[in-house]
Chain A
Amino acid sequence: MFIEYSEEQNMLRDSAERYLRDNYSFDSRQAAVKQASGFDADQWQTFAELGWLAMTFKEESDGLGGGALETMILCEQFGKYLVLEPYLESVVLVGGLVEAGAQPAIKEQYLAGLIAGELQGAFGYLEEGGVADPTYVQATAESSADGFVLNGKKTVVLNGPEADCFVISARTGAAEKGSSSGISLFFVSKDAPGLSLTNYKTYDGRSASELQLENVAVTSEALVGELNNGFAIATPVFSRAMLAVCAEAVGAMDALLTATVDYTKQRKQFGQSISGFQVLRHRMVDMFMEIELTRSLLMATAWKLDNNAADAEQCVAALKAKVGKAGRYVSHNAVQLHGGIGTTDEFSVGHYFKRLAVIGVMFGSRDSHLSRYSQLSTQLSVEPS
């Protein structure tokens, strides 16, 4: 059952927690935010040495063969310590797509580097005007003599400035409303002629790019997954990515609750610790309950993904919707209970809040996942069990 971890999984959680506690202070994190790359390259290298980057790749790819549970365990700790390094973008998204669908030549050239942390990736799948819908794709890839020519724009490509390579969605067939058909994925190296980036920082301390593709020529080997059906591999990778950010959210919420409990015990007003006031005590209990409900969904979802349960996708939608709600509740109240100090850049609480704000809408907002949950419930109930 999903409530039991294996020995290895317990070790992974403990060692990740220990390493980050001892080596990933909030102050050093804030120093890394100010660097051009937006993260600490030495940390990234250490993550690789600890086996974290290889953890969820298959053994035949020279990975360690972990599954969704391992993604969850690592990302929960990343969330707890507000880790900046692009695990989601480079490992979960681009690593996942390349492993699942890249052609042998590309895999050979890039996969080992992605697993070893020597190369970084970024996934360009969003376009201006339709960021809530990853099937809104206007960029085009036209067949040419020896491959494809890509044109168009991609917006908010997370980790774009540091990426050595990109996976980019483009239209190769007619658009159908609400359908992912006609969309293909392409592997594009950062130095491909015609590819230009506009880089910037994001509010949660990371970096991203706007991508412009002008007659970017790629060979037919650049196609990742099936032609016109890139979502066949993108959908499970998105599910894993949602699990990853939701695990991060649970870690971040945990950290906020701990900080809030500690702070309200220390903070004295009206001659007593404000943690003695019942209105604040109950608020913190409500934060706790939201976190525990989310944690239960998270653990169950990871287990269901690893076991290919029929309702795994439904659980992902439920989880993402729950994180949208719980993340707001917990972070808003953490800031509120800290008072003025919670609204400042120098204090950690506000940074957790910003990360949770980002996670809440990434890969679909709460509302979109609630409606996905309803649709999947209907489908499941009509299918014979």
Chain B
Amino acid sequence: MTDNVFRTDVRAFLAESLTPEIKRAGELMTSVFADFDATMDWHKTLYAKGWVAPDWPQEHGGTGWTLGQRYIFQEECKLANAPALFAMGLQMLGPMLIRYGTAEQKAYYLPRMLSGEDVWCQGYSEPGAGSDLASLMTAAVRDGDDYIINGSKIWTSYAQHSNKIFCLVRTSKEGKPQAGISFILVDMDAKGLSVEPIVGLDGAVEQCQVYFDDVRVPAANLVGAENQGWDVAKSLLEFERGGHNFTIDHKKQMAKIDRQASTQLSADGCLWKDNPVFEAKLADVAVDALALEFTELRMKGAFEAGGNPGALSSLIKVMGTEIGQRFNELSVEMMAEHTFVKQLDALLPGFEGEAIGPSCGLTTMAEYINNRAATIYGGSAEIQRDIIAKRVLHL
């Protein structure tokens, strides 16, 4: 099938399957997460079509598409304003279980992940272990066929909606900090586990803190061997860093900026798009976004040739997030006072009232605020720079 035929098929499917409500949730995204219910509806639609996990091997429920087709699918979904599916299961844990999980774990968890029966969250960071993840303290102590877990995890996205959590826990204090870490799967309804929401700067809750108070977990839930969790986690971090396609996000941001610039006036009475100072600033970011697009193609080429793009993925994470933040700044400048209006109701897909201000500015401030996190999560911009310094420049 040619790429164009494939694209047409994807478009036709999206046109008939994206309900107005699901699409609205995609339009109203102010971070990497969309409205929970709408996202899960979309998850189930894709599951029914067999397209929920294009990146997985076909025998585990993948689509068997080429890398190019997967890219087209991602692009078309985003351009059609489909909500992004939650990545913690499908993008992160799934590929990792396929690689490190036991036959029983795969047989049990993968189908539930695909169907959306299980919603996963990620328990990595702790109040005392962020960039220095290996210093984590949440302890799992062996007790017969179980582990007993005590401690706390933080920045756990959508824990309030999840029924499962995968965690890094300390099983040994011997040797290097990395050597005593294990990877374990935990039921959120286990006795002693509690979730406390964290209100973000936009007023919404995406993050949580999760507390473990003598939480008993079967030892069969370990992924990989005891004390080998760091290697498992490291491979997962690479999925997290390398798996994102920033160019599509940037194109969406530019389309939004175009709408704003061709409807809103700047101080001198001309549209923002005709303001030369603004145009130059926009072009400066757009040029970097174009350079990043070609860099992503270089990385894709390296993948296709069977090579390892290595630290190019760190470069793409840093530049992709920083460019996105610069686009946010331009939007805030154009929408100006309209961005002040805090109307969280109007950001819900089911909202039936009338929003205040121009529709093209409804999400601007929340996007700007929330996107500050992009250079912090998934390995901060500084940690990524440390990785490049060490692995590429050999400093």
Contacts and interface: CB of A to CB of B under 8 A. Distances in A.
Interface in A320-364: 321-322, 325
B21 interface: no
Interface string B294-306: 1101100100000
B315 interface: yes
A56 interface: no
Contacts of A296: 291-292, 294-295, 297-298
A105 interface: no
B287 interface: yes
Interface residues of B, number: 30
A293 B298 CA distance: 10
Contacts of B291: 293-294, 296-297, 318, 322
A167 B146 CA distance: 85
Contacts of B294: 2, 296-297, 299-300
Contact of B301 (A1, A264, A293, A377): A1
Interface stretch (B112-120, B136-144, B381-389): B381-389
Nearest to A297: B291
Contact of A367 (B280, B286, B392, B395): B280
A129 to B, nearest CB: 22
B395 A322 contact: no
B287 A370 contact: yes
A305 interface: no
Given A1-B301, A373-B283, A318 B290 contact: yes
Interface stretch (A73-81, A148-156, A283-291): A283-291
Contacts of A1: 297, 301
A293 B389 contact: no
A168 interface: no
Interface string A1-31: 1111000000000000000000000000000
Contacts of A322: 287-288, 291
A283 to B, nearest CB: 9
Q: Is the interface on chain A under 10, 10 to 19, 20 to 34, or 35 or more residues?
A: 35 or more
Contacts of B12: none
A233 interface: no
B278 to A, nearest CB: 10
B77 interface: no
B269 interface: no
Contacts of B319: 289, 293
Interface string A270-290: 000001101001101110110
Given A264-B395, A322-B287, A285 B389 contact: yes
A284 B284 CA distance: 22
B297 A3 contact: yes
A292 B284 contact: no
A352 B99 CA distance: 48
Contacts of A321: 283-284, 287
A281 B276 contact: no
Contact of A371 (B276, B290, B297): B276
A296 B276 CA distance: 27
Interface string A28-58: 0000000000000000000000000000000
Nearest to A381: B258
B279 interface: yes
Interface string A152-170: 0000000000000000000
Contacts of A284: 389, 393, 395
A373 B287 contact: yes
Contact of A374 (B279, B288, B312, B315): B279
21 contacts: A261-B394, A265-B395, A282-B389, A288-B315, A288-B392, A289-B315, A289-B318, A292-B312, A293-B288, A293-B295, A296-B294, A299-B294, A318-B287, A318-B291, A325-B284, A367-B280, A371-B276, A371-B279, A373-B286, A374-B283, A377-B283
Given A286-B385, A322-B287, 14 more contacts: A1-B297, A2-B297, A281-B389, A284-B389, A284-B395, A285-B389, A296-B295, A296-B298, A297-B287, A297-B291, A315-B290, A318-B290, A321-B284, A370-B280
